[in-house]
Structure 1
Amino acid sequence: MGSSRDASEAPKLGDATGIDVGCTSADPPSLIAHRGFAGEQPENTVPTFRSAARSADWIELDCRPTADGVCAVFHDRRLDRCTPLSGVVAETPAESLFSTEVLGGGSIPTLEEALDAIPTHTGVVIDLKGRHGAVPTGADERWEWLEGPLATVADTPHSTLVSTFWEGALEAAERYAPELPTAYLFESGVDRAFEVAERHACAALHPPAELLVGGRTAPDGEERFLARAHERDLAVNVWTVTDHEEAAALAALGVDGIIADRADVLG
């Protein structure tokens, strides 16, 4: 279902999985607000989520732990880019973090505050980050801190999808909240992506836009990649789209969701 949905309806990324995140629908792709449309407003803040919900079918937000294991809605490993502070989020106590303003307005919210700001008819994509970076590295990651946040997500009335680059986070989701649908985020390695999705019974794959409409074409072709995913009841939600032309090309291919930095990419 695209962004023209009735506000009273639960958002869908298709119907194949039976849990509102599958695919193969002929509808326009769902519009997913990347960090609350980070190209328009300060990312991952309560005011931004409220604003994005006026036009988005789903809102994507990032979660990572503070020094004391509290879930903060924040993308970067470090505070420097988005706040007046310096340092690593995972080394900063929650008390200091949640009193910090975000450059451009708003403050860093807790997961509960973010969910409360989003209307229940709008879906939520929860992007799980590790302590050491935005994408997996050789650093050891521990995921016990996710038990509480995943319970919070499981209890929310929103339609939800848990996404991550980390297999460890997918394993934590299976352990702590097996009822939650999951998505595997990846940058390259199509065959491995399908293997990970199968291993963890994912509902979706989240490839970069460049894999389908840029210079990094999927090895077996864009349409074959989508067909392969749809044959396995996997939604394909593509990141991060910034303009009309790219969004139109992805919609023509038949992707299920477009994770976008701007609200007008499909309009």
Structure 2
Amino acid sequence: MAHRGYSRDGLENSMAAFRAAVELGIGHLETDVHTTADGVLLLFHDDALDRVTDSEGRIADLTAAQVAQARIGGREAIPTFDQLATEFPKARLNLDVKDWNSVRTLAAAIERHDAHDRMLVTSFSDRRRRAVLRLLSRRTATSAGLPLTAAFVLLGPVLPTGLLRRLLHDVDAFQVPVGFGPVRVITAGFLRRAHRLGIQVHVWTINDPAHMRDLLDLGVDGIVTDRSDLLKEVLQGRGDWD
């Protein structure tokens, strides 16, 4: 998965970064959503413009017209969800719902584009991602939030499989780092337990080729990376690039 697209120039979550990932042949794009004061769904990681653009202000306090003046890295406009979904109608999108303002706007956008089959809705908040799912007209893939992931890491080895299935009834994936502080998350046991439940495991954010190879050897299902070019080379070298 191309983490906020693919850019070596700091143009994260820009159409240029998404185009670069697609041109490499990456079929899965990871991105984030926020909503403007007038209800336009944007692809942007932070709640404010300050870090990566030449403008300032919280997105939730600005209109779409005001945000449209900002430039990522001084060069690229902040894209809307509609732009990405329309330009790349076959791309699969991994969408991190960053705020409550975006629950209804994201659900409406997925419905508008009839894009349920190519979306994976995620959030650190299980309440927020489930709020999106409840507004959708049909089943859409989703990954566990932080509470359910922590429960699975800590209690998965001791809880019965049937109870885990009920707890994770709407979860299609865990999207996790290799570890949280001193706690190692990605282990053979974690993968085995997740796969027994039919749940995929995606690891973020991996930019070192040797680390990519180790994780693939271990059996992870997806890698989120800033370096789509290096991941492509690794997969080609393993004969796994389609």
TM-score for the superposition, normalised by structure 2 = 0.80
Query: In the aligned structure 1, how far is the partner of 2:18 from the partner of 2:149?
Result: 32
Deviations 1:234-253 (A, max 9, x none): 11111111110211111111
Higher alpha-carbon Rg: 2
Give the deviation of 1:95 after TM superposition.
1.5
Q: Given residue 103 of structure 2, which amino acid in structure 1 is its aligned partner? A: L
Query: 3-state SS of the aligned residue for 2:34?
Result: strand
Distance 1:74 1:179 in 2: 25
2:3 match: 34
Q: Deviations over 1:98-132 (max 9, x none)?
A: 23211152110111012223251x311111111xx
The runs of 5 or more residues in structure 2 that have no matched partner are 157-163, 234-242
Aligned residue for 1:54, secondary structure, equals helix
Distance 1:54 1:196 in 2: 38
Distance of aligned partners of 1:112 and 1:49 in 2 relative to their CA distance in 1, 3 Å threshold:
same
Counterpart in the other structure of 1:135? none
CA contact (8 A) 1:62 1:126 kept: yes
Greater Cα shift, 223-232 or 188-197: 188-197
Matched with 1:115 is 85
The answer to whether the aligner puts 1:169 opposite 2:169 as a matched pair is no
Task: Supply the distance in 1 between the matched residues of 2:140 and 2:47 (Cα, whole angstroms).
Answer: 25
Contact 1:66 1:72 in 2 (8 A): yes
CA contact (8 A) 1:65 1:71 kept: yes
In the TM superposition, residue 86 of structure 1 has moved relative to its aligned partner by: 1.7
Contact 1:62 1:73 in 2 (8 A): yes
Match of 1:217 in 2: 184
C-alpha distance in 1 between matches for 2:166 and 2:173: 8
> Secondary structure in 1 aligned to 2:220?
coil
Aligned residue for 2:208?
243
Match of 1:77 in 2: 47
Partner AA of 1:241 in structure 2: I
Residues 55-86 of structure 1 show CA distances to partners (whole Å, capped at 9, x for unaligned) of 31301111012223321110012211111112
CA contact (8 A) 1:244 1:264 kept: no
More deviation in 90-99 or 75-84?
Answer: 90-99
Q: In 1, are the aligned partners of 2:43 and 2:80 still within 8 Å (CA)? A: yes
Give the Å deviation of 1:257: 0.4
- Of 187-196 and 254-263, more deviation after overlay is shown by 187-196
Amino acid at match of 1:50: R
Query: What is the count of residue pairs matched by the alignment?
Result: 219
Residue in 1 that maps onto 2:160:
none
Structure (1/2) with the larger helix percentage: 2
Alpha-carbon deviation of 1:179? 1.6
Partners of 1:83 and 1:187 in 2: how far apart?
A: 32
TM-score, normalising length from structure 1? 0.73
User: Which one of the candidate residues 103, 118, 124 is aligned to 1:146?
Assistant: 103
1:147 match: secondary structure: helix
Counterpart Cα distance in 2 of 1:197 and 1:39: 42
Which whole-Å CA distance do the structure 2 matches of 1:39 and 1:188 have between them?
Answer: 34
Give the distance between the partners of 2:226 and 2:148, measured in 1 at CA.
21
Q: CA deviation at 1:264?
A: 2.7
State yes or no: 1:96 paired with 2:55: no
Letter in 2 for 1:63: V
Letter matched to residue 83 of structure 2: E
Deviation of 1:149 (Å): 2.2
State yes or no: 1:234 paired with 2:199.
Answer: yes
